[in-house]
Amino acid sequence: MFKSIITRALTILFLCAVVIACQEEKKKRINFPPTDLAKENLIPKPLKIIPTNMAFGLDRYTAIYTTQDAKGFSEVGQFLADKIKAKLDLDVPVNSEGEEPIERIIYINQSDSLELNSTEAYQLYITQDSVILNSNTAEGAFRGIQTLRQIIPEESIDTLAEQRIWPIPSGMITDNPNFGFRGSMLDVARHFFSVEDVKKYIDLLSYYKINVLHLHLSDDQGWRIEIKSWPKLTEIGGSTEVGGEAGGFFNQEDYKEIVAYATKHYMTIIPEIDMPGHTNAASVSYPFLNGNGKTPKLYEGTRVGFSTFDTRKDTVYSFIDDVVREISAITPGPYFHIGGDESHVTKKNDYIYFVEKVEKIVQKYGKRMIGWDEIASAEVDSTSISQYWSSGKNAQKAIKRGMKVILSPAKKTYLDMQYDTLSKHGLHWAAYIPVDSAYVWTPEEYEGIPMENILGVEAPLWSETISNIDELEYLAFPRVIGYSELSWSIKENRDWENFKIRLANQAPYLDRMDVKFYASPKIDWKKSKYTYEEIKKD
């Protein structure tokens, strides 16, 4: 009797377990409509995508687990959780040991697989039950979660149980960047931009896997970074900007905050102090620097090429030593940019002498020198880098010296060039650069520069004609999104007609981020409040 009660109880328990398990199974396996991972609006386009036409259901029973004994992985997991929260208002626990029932898991794994052949490479395996992201380094995992963010749909499917669930298309992605250096530059000298503005730009760039932000920190119109041993640089030299508004500057704590924010986004900050030309603001602050015995006036115009340091004075180099030392000490990245462009009033020999001396200072503080393409006329080291902006001849000189070249040809990559004659902001001295012309060219084959000499692509945003974040966004977006693909994706994976569709579908993200992008009529934008505004205006 007793035995049979036990048997019956056990049977009932077993049946209950089966029923519960079946219900669990029902929750887990939802029949989503077929998906196609290959048709997702990913930018930059990954190296390889193999769709399996099902979906992973992201919902409140999803958790993120990461490798915990390798540096940075749990932070990358938390970064993803924060972005999911912001996008969907959904809480996804990270490495939690809590009691919450978990049905599906996103794993972010450190892997030593030989297929992961660079620090930024990653693999993404998405099935109905799990998402597995593999990478060698946290940097690779960070690039991989940008891909994941882009395929998490904005819209949920509401199940019978009135539960919101977001279907992520299943399949496999293997990815690796074509160029390790994918950058943009922001000129905070002609007009100053705040720490918050710079952080927003970092948010947007890193979503598209751009990994370098070059800050143009000094020019004729303003000196924007505190140098503790030379305080007048910012007190005087930072006090104005183009158009005569009060300028501004980053104190060293501000700069460190930007650097830390960039580091969290696996982005390198490159500081630029432009010399020996473009130095009016420095010479107004310390008139001995220009060597002509006159104290110049603060400059609020937009002419270039009228200022120079006195390149034959030792005290000028002591000054530069202090500047490079202080900035290098708070810059973890490997580069220091010395400018070197448009020194029209510096004699050629003086210019060469200057660049060679400053290169030594930069190296003394453990950095690799970058300069605009003119620097290759000096006897610089093969470890220094030339940034091609206008002269093919200078690029060839750099190649002869064995230097790497950053591609920033003005007529293709200058974000301050107008889109067309109707553009509200921007210049057009190099070209009008509509959205298609920005995308349709081949950095791998540009003006005979061999691929092995190309470090990467950078799109500079000069700020003579823009003074706030809305105007910055108007010039940078959508073109900078195209440069992300030009530098990440291989040539075979780039195609304007296909890119155009994926770009049109960035509008919901850009809207959510409140980006006032230029709604180019060449793109059939997916609904966007800004396109509506543009259309209304027309």
CB-based contacts of 6: which residues, under 8 Å, 6+ apart? none
Q: Note whether 462 binds ligand TNX by CB under 6 A.
A: yes
Binders in 101-130 for ligand TNX, by CB under 6 A:
none
One of 47, 427, 431, 513 touching ligand TNX (CB under 6 A): 427
Q: What is the CB-side half-sphere exposure of residue 34 using CA atoms within 13 A?
A: 6
Q: Note whether 304 binds ligand TNX by CB under 6 A.
A: yes
Q: Phi and psi for 281 in degrees, rounded to 5? A: -60, -35
| Smallest separation, CB 242 to ligand TNX (Å) | 10
Q: Note whether 30 binds ligand TNX by CB under 6 A.
A: no
Q: Which is nearer to ligand TNX, 326 or 341 (CB)?
A: 341
Q: Which is nearer to ligand TNX, 266 or 299 (CB)?
A: 299
Q: Note whether 388 binds ligand TNX by CB under 6 A.
A: no
Residue type, 172: M
| Smallest separation, CB 424 to ligand TNX (Å) | 16
Residue type, 529: K
Which helix (H) or strand (E) segment is 222 a member of?
Answer: strand 222-223
Question: Alpha-carbon torsion 397, 429, 271, 233, what sign?
Answer: positive
- DSSP characters for 239-277? SB-TTS-B---B-HHHHHHHHHHHHHTT-EEEEEEEESS
Q: What is the CB-side half-sphere exposure of residue 78 using CA atoms within 13 A?
A: 8
| Smallest separation, CB 342 to ligand TNX (Å) | 5
Q: Note whether 342 binds ligand TNX by CB under 6 A.
A: yes
Q: Which is nearer to ligand TNX, 326 or 342 (CB)?
A: 342
Q: Note whether 272 binds ligand TNX by CB under 6 A.
A: no
| Smallest separation, CB 473 to ligand TNX (Å) | 18
**What whole-number distance in Å separates Cα of residue 178 and Cα of residue 189?**
31
Q: Note whether 414 binds ligand TNX by CB under 6 A.
A: yes
- 339 close to 274: Cβ distance less than 8 angstroms: yes
One of 389, 474, 483, 488 touching ligand TNX (CB under 6 A): 389
One symbol per residue from 349 to 368: x for binding ligand TNX (CB under 6 A), - otherwise; what is it? --------------------
- Name the residue with tokens 């006159």: 294
Q: Which is nearer to ligand TNX, 146 or 308 (CB)?
A: 308
Residue 416 corresponds to which tokens in the numbers above? 């301050």
Q: Which is nearer to ligand TNX, 59 or 220 (CB)?
A: 220
| Smallest separation, CB 322 to ligand TNX (Å) | 24
Q: Which is nearer to ligand TNX, 412 or 494 (CB)?
A: 412
Q: Note whether 416 binds ligand TNX by CB under 6 A.
A: yes
Q: Which is nearer to ligand TNX, 124 or 189 (CB)?
A: 189
CB-based contacts of 248: which residues, under 8 Å, 6+ apart? 192, 194, 224, 238, 241
Q: Note whether 220 binds ligand TNX by CB under 6 A.
A: no
**Which candidate in 40, 272, 342, 473 is catalytic?**
342
Q: Note whether 223 binds ligand TNX by CB under 6 A.
A: no
| Smallest separation, CB 388 to ligand TNX (Å) | 10
| Smallest separation, CB 418 to ligand TNX (Å) | 11
Q: Note whether 32 binds ligand TNX by CB under 6 A.
A: no
336: helix, coil or strand?
strand
Active site residue 342: yes
- 105 close to 98: Cβ distance less than 8 angstroms: no
Return the closest-CA partner of residue 243 out of 476, 466, 473, 469: 466
Q: Note whether 73 binds ligand TNX by CB under 6 A.
A: no
Q: Is 340 left (phi over 0), alpha (psi -120 to 50) or beta?
A: left
Q: What is the CB-side half-sphere exposure of residue 363 using CA atoms within 13 A?
A: 12
| Smallest separation, CB 287 to ligand TNX (Å) | 22
| Smallest separation, CB 439 to ligand TNX (Å) | 20
Which helix (H) or strand (E) segment is 351 a member of?
Answer: helix 348-364
Q: Which is nearer to ligand TNX, 27 or 278 (CB)?
A: 278
Number of residues that bind ligand TNX (CB under 6 A): 10
Q: How far from the centroid of its chain's Cα atoms is residue 424's Cα? A: 25
Beta strand 404-407 pairing with 454-461: parallel
- Name the residue with tokens 């009691």: 99
Q: Which is nearer to ligand TNX, 139 or 416 (CB)?
A: 416
**What whole-number distance in Å separates Cα of residue 72 and Cα of residue 463?**
35
Q: Which is nearer to ligand TNX, 120 or 342 (CB)?
A: 342
- 279 close to 290: Cβ distance less than 8 angstroms: yes
Q: Note whether 341 binds ligand TNX by CB under 6 A.
A: yes
| Smallest separation, CB 349 to ligand TNX (Å) | 21
Return the closest-CA partner of residue 242 out of 216, 270, 205: 216
Torsion of the alpha carbons at 327, 331, 336 and 338, rounded to the nearest 10 = -30
Q: Note whether 372 binds ligand TNX by CB under 6 A.
A: yes
Between the CA of residue 99 and those of 102, 187, 367, what are the distances in Å? 9, 50, 50
Residues annotated as part of the active site: 342
Q: Which residues bind ligand TNX (CB under 6 A)?
A: 304, 341-342, 372, 389, 414, 416, 427, 462, 464
